[in-house]
A and B are shown apart, each in its own frame.
Chain A
Amino acid sequence: MLHVELVLQGLVNGSMYAVVAIGLTLIYGLLRILHVAHAGLYTLGAYITVLTTNATGSLALGILAAMLVVGLCGMLVYRLLYEPMLERPPYVALIASIGLFICMEESYRIVFGPYGSSFDMPRLGERIALGPISIAAADAAMLVGAIVLLTGLAMLMRRTRFGVAWRATVTDPAMARSFGIDTIKVRYVNFFIASVFAAAAGSLVAVLNNLVEPTMGSVPSYKSLAIIVLGGLGQVGGTLAAALLLGVIEAYGTIYAGAYLDRDAIAFIFLIVVLMIRPQGLFARGS
């Protein structure tokens, strides 16, 4: 049973990484921008969830508000920050993005205070039994939430005309334009959906930990950057696999090496080793 529970725990963490990292991959795939500030939006999503839930008593409303507001903020970040520098070399946007991320973390500290916030009433603390194994309700919510979001995204991308146009734009924006696709709209939708995903992950982590802090985005930010490289930059499927793999490795590492190293250290050792062996990512395709 230990293995089942470890894998399950790994998948829970991995699905959180996946939801954050897929947003990053979508943005990298379309614009070749490493959107570090993505993790700032994730934190914002967590704060909005806690504040709205405490104000209204409805967690569902809190999560929805977070997704909507953060989605709009993502479009704003594109419009105000990235769009003016699209013609510049990629590191310009990267530096700007790091700057924005730091700025966001400090703003949260000023506005919401340095000590973090919690739900007035602890949420989803109980455990659900599935035969011999049991899983925390919050963990289950994370898994189910990730599955719903990722399936929804896959359906949008595969089954709708707009989704196909979106993927065409990622492959060849100039040709997409010549076939009448509004590639600017694709960018806004891309930022909206990616940011909605960040917000959803932030919400679910807030529920999981019953704590949101100004700096809660730092570790997910570094990890998700490493994950998208591991997944073969810009590839949604590879990103998903890399995120889940990292989650499981972490879960095992915590049990078998947890006495010497903490979870994040284990994750980074894994990421560094893999990237040393396969700098092109685990799932890079030959060109």
Chain B
Amino acid sequence: MLELKGLTCGYGRFVAVRDLSFTVRRGEAMAVLGANGAGKTSTLMAIAGQVAVQSGAILFDGEDITALSPMARCARGLALAPEGRRLFRDLTVRENLVVGGYVRAARATAANMDKVLALFPRLEERLDNLAGSLSGGEQQMAAIGRAMMAEPRLLLIDEVSLGLMPKNVDICYEALDALRRAGLTIVLIEQSLERVLDMVDHVCVLESGSLAWAGTAADARGNPDVIRAYMGGVHG
């Protein structure tokens, strides 16, 4: 479903990620791990079309989307829950969800909103609050919900649990698990190793912008290479 071929991306002349290749198959979940500054967010934003690709290619369903606008990628079924959530703060939660579904027909909005509320019942009472007034956990739920409004086939999500209370981490992971079981393909970035390995099929670890390790979640568990790369060379 998603294939990166020698992706090199960055900011201006600065290279944040170099020659990265991996494949995510339909219905799979893949975790991108790595230390601070390893290039995880840059990779995800390049897939979403927000960070400039310097060389290499991004294939989505076999189609080369490297040169497509973020809009066109969204229309093809790619949705983003970005680092820092980046909700539209001055809009209500309901309006954020409406924007999430902007690429889909207006008449699909109500049904999709019901699905999001079934996933995150907590958002129901917050629908008419400004997104900027939500707690961290609610913001993450709203960000995932906003992405789901676009009826994506691939969900990109950055820092699932960062800054969330344990209870909200559970809610978010349970939601992602349910979505995956329903057939959604997911690429996620996570800081805390424990939770994520239970949920994903594959893991790739970035180290200073390059692929340091790739394998199944089972192999990653307790693997010293993963832990070392993940710690960003703190121990070596």
Q: A161-B106, A174-B50 are in contact. Are A179 and B86 (CB under 8 A)?
A: no
Q: Does B88 contact A (CB under 8 A)?
A: yes
Q: Is the CB of A176 within 8 A of B99?
A: yes
Inside 8 A of B218's CB, which chain A residues have their CB?
none
Q: How far is the CB of A184 from chain B (nearest CB, A)?
A: 10
B residues near A181, Cβ cutoff 8 Å: 71, 99, 102
Cα–Cα, bound, A172→B79 (Å)? 16
A contact patch SS: helix
Q: Is A168 an interface residue (CB 8 A)?
A: yes
Q: Which of A148-174 contact B (CB under 8 A)?
A: 161, 164-165, 167-168, 170-172, 174
**Complex-state Cα separation, A168 to B75, whole angstroms:** 18
Residue A56, interface by CB 8 Å: no
Taking CB as reference atom, which chain B residue is nearest A175? B86
User: What are the residues of chain A within 8 A of B73 when measuring CB–CB?
Assistant: 178
B88 touches A171 (CB 8 A): yes
A127 is an interface residue with CB less than 8 A from chain B? no
A167 contacts B71, CB within 8 Å?
A: no
Expressed in whole angstroms, the Cα–Cα distance for A180 and B49 within the complex equals 12
Q: Are B91 and A178 in contact (CB under 8 A)?
A: no
**Residue of B49, B89, B95 with most chain A CB atoms under a 10 A cut-off:** B95
In the complex, whether B6 has a CB less than 8 A from a CB of chain A is no
Instruction: Tell me, in angstroms, the Cα distance from A172 to B99 when the chains sit together.
Output: 12
User: Whole-angstrom distance from the CB of A68 to the nearest CB of chain B?
Assistant: 27
Q: Which of the residues B48, B74, B82, B102 comes within 8 Å of A161, measured between beta carbons?
A: B102
Contacts of B150 in A (CB 8 A): 179-180
Q: Find out whether the CB atom of A179 lies under 8 angstroms from the CB atom of B102.
A: yes
One of A161, A164, A180 near B71 (C-beta < 8 A): A180
Q: Is the CB of A171 within 8 A of B71?
A: no
The distance from the CB of A144 to the nearest CB of chain B, in whole angstroms, is 29
- B219 contacts A by Cβ under 8 Å: no
CA distance A180 to B71 in the complex (A): 4
A88-112 vs B: 1/0 string, CB under 8 Å?
0000000000000000000000000
Task: Identify the closest chain A residue to B74 (Cβ).
Answer: A180
Would you call B146 an interface residue if the criterion is a C-beta within 8 Å of the partner chain's C-beta atoms? yes
**A/B pair count, beta carbons within 8 Å:** 62
Q: Closest Cβ of chain B: how far from A239's Cβ, in Å? A: 15
Nearest B residue to A163 via CB reads B95
Does B36 lie at the interface of the complex (its beta carbon under 8 Å from any beta carbon of A)? no
Minimum CB distance partner of B149 in chain A: A179
With a CB–CB cut-off of 8 A, which chain A residues contact B71?
Answer: 177-178, 180-182
| Contact yes or no, B91 A168, CB < 8 A | yes
Task: For A179, list chain B residues within 8 Å (CB).
Answer: 74, 79, 99-100, 102-103, 146, 150
In the complex, which residues of chain B have a beta carbon less than 8 angstroms from the beta carbon of A161?
98, 102, 106
Q: Mark B62-86, 1 if CB is under 8 A from A, else 0.
A: 0000000111011100011010001
Across-interface contacts of B90 in A (CB, < 8 A) = 167, 170-171
Q: Which residues of B contact A174 (CB under 8 A)?
A: 50, 70
Known: A179-B99, A182-B71. A167 touches B106 (CB 8 A): no
Instruction: Collect the chain B residues with CB atoms within 8 Å of residue A168's CB.
Output: 88, 91, 95-96, 99
Set of chain A residues within 8 Å of B50, measured between Cβ atoms: 174, 178
Contact A172 B86 (CB under 8 A): yes
Contact B102 A165 (CB under 8 A): yes
Residues of A within 8 A of B69 (CB): 177
5 cross-chain pairs, A with B, having the tightest CB-CB distances, nearest first = A180-B103, A180-B74, A171-B88, A178-B70, A177-B70
Interface residues of A (CB under 8 A from B): 161, 164-165, 167-168, 170-172, 174-182
* Interface CB pairs A-B, < 8 A, 20: A164-B99, A165-B99, A165-B102, A167-B88, A167-B90, A168-B91, A168-B95, A168-B96, A168-B99, A171-B90, A174-B50, A174-B70, A177-B71, A178-B71, A178-B73, A179-B74, A179-B102, A180-B74, A181-B71, A181-B99
